[in-house]
Amino acid sequence: MTIEEVQNEIIDEFSMFEDWEERYQYMIDLGKDLPLIEEKYKTEDNIIKGCQSKVWVHANMKDDKVNFTADSDAIITKGIIAILIRVFSNQHPKDILEANTDFIDKIGLKEHLSPTRANGLVSMIKQLKMYAIAYQTQLN
């Protein structure tokens, strides 16, 4: 699936819920299915700076596609990173770098986060794209 197709799938899923309490619960459920980072990667180097909670992300490249694993010590944050990983994992670095993140506004996520969590969301996206830059450089 392309990044856009995954984003559209997420938009469709979130549109099934009538209120934000249900959407938060769905995000928590998504966090439970997150491909977890191995303990050995839960290091200071893999913590996303700018998040209120601790969020660790690890990336590797397989068949010219970036794969992410992550974890967080907060359930909502874990759900947020799970959504981002679902969008960006198993994608080519170039596609990750060119992707927009309008789907976040379309599902209403940013407007329902506290300012510190919204900043954390931006930091997560930035970090995932930084990994993509590093891997794209390797491909060139």
CA distances in angstroms from 73 to 70, 76, 82, 95, 126, listed in the order given? 11, 9, 13, 29, 20
Which of the following is catalytic: 6, 10, 27, 51?
51
Confirm whether 93 is a catalytic residue.
Answer: no
Query: CA 55 to CA 81: how far, in whole Å?
Result: 8
Catalytic residues: 51
